[in-house]
């Protein structure tokens, strides 16, 4: 979950990146039963570059026939056992080859994401490589996730068996397009399911390519299908489909609520929902290096230009350091610049869409009513999609700026007096996704952590954590951030159903 600094070694220079992006194949066709499919109808949607408004692609807005074909292909593959009945080691080998293909294709996948949603290309390429590593970890875990024998009398044998859920639909967002899609799809495939992926209409191309790469790696036909389409059409049809067993979703809370209704209106399919967040970063007064601390806290809400569900968009400062830390936070924000995503060392880029930029600007204007803007970064692009980072101090923890998910580079600073006060403020939103606690006092960190309504909590005693082991952790959002275990080995088990098996023999 934690943002790590991108590995820029091996990333080509700016001209090269832009030129290569110009030549990347932009195939928006569906991938069903092992091959690309020509669109069935006339319905289309446009994928628009946030950099120049160019139409990057006009994929089909997949309709009922394509949805049925993709689900039927996934069902047929599941029913005949061509994937789920392979030995775990054989499945692991295919997924390792799939990970290797993704790593080889990381530049294309990354550039596609950048073209569509404007993420810095260096981050997007590094993200694709990280996604491949995540898939390798998944593959390595398959063989450790077997059934369990529970205490049984001599004449009996009781098993806790794990069965794949069947046809899993993954509906995924645009902020980390290929990475989030692959995290969901990889775990579902690892456990023997068949998958239909419906990526965001804002950035579908790299996700569609993932399905193609899986076939090149030897995944049997029909096991991984991917459909372009809008949420209101293709996404809704998939969510209402009676032959889908499980729906795994990352996106907004409003869509998560709609999916719960669709599941209820159709076949009561299992749901895994990771929705919005308004995460707190709670800062006690015992960490030195205010410059490094300020940078880490600001990175917590500006990473990916704030378009991140675990964004630490509320910074809660202890009274005792509030006046001391605020200028450092302001200075860290003022150093930030929005730049061209094709420049290799650009850290922050414009937002994914004009609509998103306008929404964030609306928050910034309304934030001025509830709080005081104390710092602003700059923008070197002059684009309408660019929104400079903003830092507000906010007195009322109930104001919109401190309550609503902004999904842009906007942070709200609040103050607290005691650990109990910090816990109360941190928990005082409708969300329950993530939080960070900054202190060297382990007992204090533990006391606070266990009270937080958040699926993912990281206690920092240092401003430079770097442990890829984070990806082995599982967590579960709560409240209106959703539900269902995500990440790590337990997250893989979310794509199985537990079966109690008793052999009464004696
Ligand atoms: P955001 O506002 O961040 O784009 P959304 O929740 O709208 O988040 O989108 C996340 C994913 O959910 C996308 O793939 C989108 O197409 C899909 N989606 C949006 N609305 C619906 C819906 N009513 N039914 C099914 N999928 C939807």
Band of the pLDDT at 40, cuts 50, 70, 90? Answer: confident
Residue with tokens 């080859």: 97
pLDDT at 255 over 80: yes
Give residue-wise pLDDT tens across range 327-377: 999 999 999 999 999 999 999 999 999 999 999 999 998 876 678 999 999
Give the H or E element holding residue 317. strand 314-318
Instruction: Over range 113-117, report the average pLDDT.
Output: 98
- Is 239 a pocket residue for ligand 1 (Cβ < 6 Å)? yes
Band of the pLDDT at 468, cuts 50, 70, 90? Answer: confident
- Is 236 a pocket residue for ligand 1 (Cβ < 6 Å)? yes
Which residue, judged by its Cα, is nearest atom 24 of ligand 1? Answer: 236
Compute the distance between CA of residue 63 and CA of residue 239 in angstroms, rounded to an integer.
13
Which residue, judged by its Cα, is nearest atom 18 of ligand 1? Answer: 231
Give residue-wise pLDDT tens across range 169-228: 999 999 999 999 999 999 999 999 999 999 999 999 999 999 999 999 999 999 999 999
Q: Which atom of ligand 1 has the smallest separation from the CA of 254?
A: 6
pLDDT at 487 over 70: yes
pLDDT at 367: 72
Band of the pLDDT at 11, cuts 50, 70, 90? Answer: low
Q: CA torsion sign, 214 to 177 to 111 to 346?
A: negative
Rounded (5°) CA angle 55-57-58: 100
- Is 232 a pocket residue for ligand 1 (Cβ < 6 Å)? yes
pLDDT at 102 over 70: yes
pLDDT at 506: 85
Percent over 70 (pLDDT), the chain: 96
Band of the pLDDT at 426, cuts 50, 70, 90? Answer: very high
pLDDT at 12: 61
Q: 354, 384 in Cβ contact below 8 A?
A: yes
Which residue, judged by its Cα, is nearest atom 16 of ligand 1? Answer: 231
Structure tokens at 223: 């096991």
CA–centroid distance, 257 to ligand 1, in Å, is: 11
Cα 388 versus chain centre, distance: 23
- Is 408 a pocket residue for ligand 1 (Cβ < 6 Å)? no
Candidates 231, 240, 308, 310: which one to mutate for ligand 1, based on the most atoms within 8 Å of Cβ? 231
Instruction: Over range 140-167, report the average pLDDT.
Output: 95
Rounded (5°) CA angle 302-304-305: 50
Compute the distance between CA of residue 69 and CA of residue 246 in angstroms, rounded to an integer.
17
pLDDT at 470: 79
User: Which residues belong to the active site?
Assistant: 274, 309
* DSSP per-residue letters across 57-76: E--B---HHHHHHHHHHHHH
- Is 255 a pocket residue for ligand 1 (Cβ < 6 Å)? yes
CA–centroid distance, 9 to ligand 1, in Å, is: 34
* Average confidence score pLDDT of the chain: 94
User: Rounded to two decimals, what is the model's pTM?
Assistant: 0.95
- Is 258 a pocket residue for ligand 1 (Cβ < 6 Å)? yes
pLDDT at 267: 98
Cα 293 versus chain centre, distance: 25
- Is 231 a pocket residue for ligand 1 (Cβ < 6 Å)? yes
Compute the distance between CA of residue 213 and CA of residue 488 in angstroms, rounded to an integer.
23
pLDDT at 7 over 80: no
Give residue-wise pLDDT tens across range 396-422: 999 999 999 999 999 999 999 999 999
CA–centroid distance, 172 to ligand 1, in Å, is: 7
Cα distances (Å, whole numbers) of residue 488 to 4, 184, 272? 17, 11, 15
β strands within 427-488, DSSP E? 434-438, 456-460, 482-483
CA–centroid distance, 20 to ligand 1, in Å, is: 30
pLDDT at 467: 76
Band of the pLDDT at 4, cuts 50, 70, 90? Answer: very low
Instruction: Over range 305-322, report the average pLDDT.
Output: 97
pLDDT at 9: 56
Band of the pLDDT at 5, cuts 50, 70, 90? Answer: very low
CA–centroid distance, 200 to ligand 1, in Å, is: 7
Candidates 277, 271, 268, 241; CA nearest to 257 is 271
Compute the distance between CA of residue 123 and CA of residue 267 in angstroms, rounded to an integer.
40
pLDDT at 448 over 80: yes
Instruction: Over range 136-164, report the average pLDDT.
Output: 94
- First-to-last alpha carbon distance for the chain, in angstroms, is 49
pLDDT at 463 over 90: no
Candidates 20, 112, 339, 77; CA nearest to 220 is 77
């Amino acid at each position: 979950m934690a943002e790590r600094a991108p590995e820029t070694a091996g990333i080509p220079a700016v001209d090269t990146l832009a030129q290569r992006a110009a030549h990347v194949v932009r195939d928006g066709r569906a991938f069903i039963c092992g091959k690309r499919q020509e669109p069935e109808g006339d319905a289309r949607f446009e994928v628009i570059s946030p950099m120049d408004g160019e139409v990057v692609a006009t994929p089909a807005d997949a309709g009922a026939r394509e949805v049925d074909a993709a689900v039927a292909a996934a069902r047929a593959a599941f029913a005949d056992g061509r994937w789920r009945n392979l030995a775990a080691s054989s499945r692991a080998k295919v997924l390792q080859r799939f990970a290797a293909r993704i790593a080889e294709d990381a530049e294309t996948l990354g550039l596609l994401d950048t073209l569509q949603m404007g993420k810095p290309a260096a981050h997007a390429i590094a993200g694709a490589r990280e996604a491949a590593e995540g898939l390798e970890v998944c593959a390595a875990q398959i063989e450790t996730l077997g059934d369990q024998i529970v205490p049984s009398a001599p004449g009996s044998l009781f098993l806790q068996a794990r069965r794949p859920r069947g046809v899993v639909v993954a509906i995924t967002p645009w902020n980390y397009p290929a990475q989030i899609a692959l995290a969901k799809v990889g775990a579902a495939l690892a456990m023997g399911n068949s998958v239909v992926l419906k990526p965001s209409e804002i950035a579908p191309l790299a996700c569609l390519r993932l399905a193609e790469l899986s076939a090149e790696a030897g995944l049997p036909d029909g096991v991984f299908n991917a459909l372009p389409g809008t949420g209101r059409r293709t996404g809704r049809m998939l969510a209402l489909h009676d032959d889908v067993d499980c729906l795994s979703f990352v996106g907004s809370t409003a869509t998560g609520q709609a999916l719960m209704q669709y599941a209820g209106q159709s076949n009561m399919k299992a749901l895994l929902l990771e929705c919005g967040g308004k995460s707190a970063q709670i800062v006690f007064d015992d960490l030195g290096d205010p410059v490094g601390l300020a940078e880490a806290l600001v990175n917590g809400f500006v990473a990916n230009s704030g378009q991140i569900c675990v964004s630490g968009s509320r910074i809660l400062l202890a009274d005792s350091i509030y006046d001391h830390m605020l200028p450092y936070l302001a200075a860290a924000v003022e150093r930030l610049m929005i730049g061209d995503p094709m420049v290799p060392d650009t850290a922050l880029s414009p937002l994914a869409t004009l609509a998103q930029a306008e929404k964030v600007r609306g928050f910034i204007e309304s934030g001025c009513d509830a709080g005081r803007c104390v710092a602003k970064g700059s923008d070197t692009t002059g684009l309408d999609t660019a929104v400079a980072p903003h830092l507000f101090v906010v007195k009322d923890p109930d104001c919109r700026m401190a309550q609503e998910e902004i999904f842009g580079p906007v942070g709200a600073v609040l103050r607290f007096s005691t650990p109990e006060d910090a816990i109360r403020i941190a928990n005082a939103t409708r969300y329950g996704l993530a939080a960070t606690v900054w202190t060297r006092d382990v007992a204090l960190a533990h006391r606070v952590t266990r009270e937080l309504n958040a699926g993912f909590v990281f206690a920092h005693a240092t401003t430079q954590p770097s442990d890829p082991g984070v990806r082995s952790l599982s967590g579960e959002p709560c409240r209106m951030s959703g539900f269902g275990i995500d990440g790590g080995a337990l997250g893989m088990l979310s794509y199985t159903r537990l079966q109690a098996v008793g052999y009464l023999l004696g």
